[in-house]
Structure 1
Amino acid sequence: MKSITTILLALIAFTSVHAADYNIESFGAKADGKTVCTKAIQTAINESSQKGGKVIIPTGDFITGTLFLRDNTTLVIEKNARLLGSTQLNDYPKTTVNFRFFGDTWVYQSLIIAHNVNNITIEGRGTIDGQGGSFPVTTKVKPDRYRDRPYLLWIAECKNVLVRDVELRSSAMWMQSYIRCENLRIDGIKVFNHANKNNDLMDIDGCKDVVITNVIGDADDDGITLKSTTDRISENIVVSNCIISSHCNAIKFGTESTAGFRNVTISNCVIRRSAASDAKTGVPEGICGIAFEVVDGGIMENINISNIVVDGPRVPLFVRLGNRARKHYDEAPTPPIGSMSNINISNITAYASSPIGCSITGIPKGKIEGITLSNSRFVCSQGISQDMSNTIVKELEKLYPESTMFGTLPSYGLYIRHVNNINLDNIVFDLKESDTRPAIICDDVNGGSIRNISTIGAKNNSEIKILDNSKIQIQ
């Protein structure tokens, strides 16, 4: 009798687990790579949300338009399964949200959308491919050039979001946008996004309590990108153990900084050259490795960057506090000058492919407060032969922030301007070609110290140049 009871309980348990799976083929989806299966897949999603369980995308090629995730949705892309975005724009209905953000007049189409729902998961060993090359850019006029190009994932105002293990490919616009979400985890995914312009790898916008780990990604535009396009700050974020390639900026804060960034740790990552030689948006070698950009108001505080290898972009490190002052929607008040404080950058090993130089710059009425760069090595691959000692670096307060914005800087290692309390310690600058410039220039820099600076291959007698308007201790 005991044995029969045990068997019955086991059968009940098996039946319950089995019944929790919703294979989309059972709802009429066809794995022929031709039939648009949106209705069948959406029906499976709706039922799983109501009854519990997982939606299974099995082996094969399934075409779909926009899918709306519901509460408690788990979407499983099985090994050798491909969820392919329709190439017809009318399969992507325009969807709006109930809050204002920069881009809300053109961000409203995506292959997968989740808005104001909780407990959603996208996982599996298969692939989601947006077929983004089918949506060409038809104009250079902003913002029209961003319209009619669907994202791959657009997750807005959701709690408890998990995206893991899947491969994401070829969006028509940004690959994945997470905006005003809480408790977000992205783990073990692979991304290749080189189908179109504006092909970011991921954008974390006004989210909090975020963990991003074990990502291998290659993007035509920016890589792991933290933004603030709404009234919500991006905060409590951990990024670790990732390998990132980008034709633009591999790891980036900004450009939008409406509320800002707080409590962010990024560690144990490799930034390497892209596998794609054709750059639609940036340059093949990448524009910048690590970029901090606060130019639309907002704060940046309590940021820790450590153990990063930067191999090959034009500029390894760029820190910029500017005053573009762009509103996050037309009726919003003009943002004041933002702030940057308590930033720690350490253990950076970097190779620059251009002689531009790294920079840490504020503006006269907006100085960076409290930044440390330590235990790092910068290899400078090219040198400058002309005399740049009288070069004037323009302020360019309102210009779009980019590590190349000032042109070739008058220092080959680090140009620092409008900064209070900076500490540089144990930094090596390795010149591969002779250069007439000093390693470091400090202009309007007050407080802090510079010590243990080593230069290799330098012939200039004045490796650290402190202008008269600066007061900083050199040890």
Structure 2
Amino acid sequence: MLKKFTLIISVMLACGWSANAQSFNITDYGAVAGGQTLNTQFIQKAVDAAAAKGGGKVIVPQGIFLTGTIHLKSNVEFFLDKGAILTGSTNLSDYERTDRWYAILIADKQSNIKITGYGTIDGQGKALAKNVIKLVKNGAIIDEFKLNRPDEHLRPQLIEIQNSAHVQIKHVTLKDAACWVQTYNKCTDLLIDSINVQSTAFWNNDGIDVVDCKDVKIKNCNINAADDGICLKSSDRASACQNIEISNCRVRSSASAIKFGTASLGGFKQINVHDIEIYDTYRVAIALEIVDGGTMEDVIVSNINARNTGGAIFIRLGQRKGDIPGILRRVNISNVTVDIPKGKPDAGYDIAGPPEEDIYPHNLLPTEIVGLPGHPVRDVKLENINITYGGGADKKHAFVSLDSLASIPERASEYPEFSMFGELPAWGIYARHAENIQLKNVTIRYKETDFRAAIVMDDVKKLIVDGLNIPTASTDAVIVLRKVSNEVIKKLKTPVAAKKAVVRKL
């Protein structure tokens, strides 16, 4: 019994837990509410005092507290009380950075960090970004100013934690960053639980970015983001995102809701995404991308309910960086329901997705599984999938003949997006350069007539279709196969007789 008790105490101390952890109220160190006084030094004093005692709870009480960058430290819980608003300064000079980003809350090489409570961190992103733009235009900052906006690294985030272990972010509201809302880079044992992200202040407002982290749980979160909702990235070829679970979240995005990439040097391994509600999302519900030479494998996506999204699923193996393409294999997606409207899904939001029609004109886009010649996407299974498309495609708007499938561009080195190929010859599912693709109990339909084939498979080795229901079709060529070998198609239901429904092209 004594050994067991000693073990429990040892674990508690290792994790920075203490039954008698001290509290450090920032007002006791000089912080003043009201939103006018810059409280950076006073809040930092409270954090430093807690760290000097071996850990403790730094309390931001009710009120508006203006601040620049605060450096979090090991064994310190940063707690925002109900009604507390930690407001980021709109002056870039009030911020410090890691070797990567400016942010309000920063930690590097720390352990046992918590950001908790029922208050709000408000980045004042719109005003802050405008002030950064002024600095660029006045010549105070040198920047290429691409796409009429300053570089991401010049626009502070709310949270930037890197090279740290045992990190918890719970319950807080994160509002209006000038760039990505929060980034966790090379962290282990990361928990993000029950947070509320509301950030539509400026471009690149990703909701959550996890970069090359291991042992991560993201759950019970509500995300409303002007860019990708929950995004996994890999910026180090020697590292990867690994052993990550994303569950029970509600996500809206003016880009993609759940995305792996685009940075994908190391890759993504053993990822489980389940029980996600997605709505009003400009691009796709699920985007899985390897374009920088990394490896994506052992990915499970299940129980996804998406309504009013631009697309359902986008799986892409490209070659943006690296001597050879990476590897994308062993992806299992199941129990997914998606409703894709005819119109723009995120119309009316503050920062809506940019118009892409001028670059690559297209009708509504299908689910896409696309590799490269000689480097296929492998071992993808879609099971219990139900996708409804708005339909209404118009040949005058965009058209690709089924006799010219080879003309669809590869665009191996381009930025990966579901619209990158422009118009596609299928309205439901399009796969190219793939191997061992399984469709089991899949239903796809449209609301308004679409002149295209429902499914096009091009350069696919080993195709298994077991239960495919396509209740709507306006052409005899429902399924088109080009350079497809070793295929099995059974339990096919279409308005067209099976002998006519499946068509081969050279």
TM-fit CA distance, 1:409: 1.1
458-467 vs 386-395, which moves further: 386-395
Q: Give CA deviations for 1:305-360 in whole Å, capped at 9, x if unaligned.
A: 000011112111100000111xxxxxxxx453100111000111001235221210
Where does 1:202-241 land on structure 2 (aligned, <5 Å)?
202-230=208-236, 231-241=238-248
Shift of 1:133: 1.1
Task: Measure, in 2, the Cα distance between the counterparts of 1:303 and 1:358.
Answer: 17
Q: CA deviation at 1:468?
A: 3.7
Match of 2:44 among 35, 42, 57: 42
Distance 2:263 2:153 in 1: 19
Aligned length: 431
Distance (Å, rounded) in 1 between the aligned partners of 2:28 and 2:294: 50
Closer, same or farther in 2 for the Cα pair 1:237/1:94, shift >3 Å?
A: closer
C-alpha distance in 2 between matches for 1:241 and 1:460 = 40
SS of match in other structure, 1:432:
strand
Name the CA distance, whole Å, in 2 between partners of 1:171 and 1:305.
Answer: 29
Secondary structure of the residue aligned to 1:272 is strand
| 1:45-444 pair list within 5 angstroms | 45-51=47-53, 52-96=55-99, 107-134=100-127, 135-136=129-130, 137=133, 140-141=145-146, 145-230=151-236, 231-273=238-280, 285-325=281-321, 334-354=322-342, 355-386=364-395, 388-391=401-404, 392-444=407-459
Q: Distance in 1 between matches of 2:475 and 2:335?
A: 26
Match of 1:460 among 453, 472, 475: 475
Q: Distance in 2 between matches of 1:372 and 1:261?
A: 17
Which SS does the other structure have where 2:313 is aligned?
A: strand
Contact kept, 8 Å, 2:432 with 2:460, in 1: the verdict is: yes
Q: CA deviation at 1:365?
A: 2.6
Report the counterpart of residue 464 of structure 2 in structure 1: 449
2:84 aligned partner, one-letter code? A
Structure 2 contact 267–290 (Cα < 8 Å) conserved: yes
Say if 1:420 and 1:131 are closer, same or farther in 2 by CA, change over 3 A.
same
Counterparts of 1:141 and 1:429, CA distance in 2: 39
Residue type at the aligned position of 1:163: I
Distance 1:429 1:19 in 2: 56
User: How far did residue 199 of structure 1 move?
Assistant: 0.6
Letter in 1 for 2:200: H
Q: Structure 2 CA distance, aligned partners of 1:173 and 1:397?
A: 28
Q: Deviations over 1:203-224 (max 9, x none)?
A: 1100000000000010001110
Residues 392-437 of structure 1 deviation map (CA, whole Å, 9 limit, x = unaligned): 3211111110001112210110000111111101111111011221
What is the CA–CA distance in structure 2 between the aligned matches of 1:198 and 1:215, rounded to whole Å?
Answer: 19
**Aligned equivalents of 1:178, 1:210: Cα separation in 2:** 10
User: What is the TM-score when the length of structure 1 is the normalising length?
Assistant: 0.88
Instruction: Kindly state the Cα deviation for residue 467 of structure 1 after the two structures are TM-superposed.
Output: 1.3
Q: Secondary structure at the match of 1:35?
A: coil
CA distance in 1, matches of 2:234, 2:467: 36
Q: Is the 8 A contact 1:357 1:408 kept in 2?
A: no
Q: Which moved more, 1:404-413 or 1:174-183?
A: 404-413
Deviation (angstroms), 1:17: 7.0
SS of the residue 1:253 aligns to? strand
Conserved? CA contact 2:83–2:119, under 8 Å: yes
Q: Deviations over 1:52-88 (max 9, x none)?
A: 3200000000001000001111000000000000111
What secondary structure is seen at the aligned counterpart in 2 of 1:413?
Answer: strand
Inter-partner Cα distance in structure 2 for 1:456 and 1:338: 37
Residue identity (%): 37
How far 1:384 sits from its partner (Å)? 2.2
- Kindly provide the CA deviation profile for residues 12-64 of structure 1, in whole angstroms up to 9, marking residues without a partner as x: xxxx9787111101111001110011111101101111213200000000001
Which residue of structure 2 aligns with residue 25 of structure 1? 27
Alpha-carbon deviation of 1:196?
1.1
Cα separation, 1, equivalents of 2:169 and 2:369 = 34
Q: Report if the CA contact (8 A) 1:385-1:434 is conserved.
A: no
Answer yes or no: is the 8 Å Cα contact 1:114–1:156 preserved in 2: yes
Q: Which secondary structure does the structure 2 equivalent of 1:36 belong to?
A: coil
The aligned counterpart of 2:15 is: none
Q: Structure 2 unaligned segments of length 5 or more: list them.
A: 1-17, 137-143, 343-363, 491-506
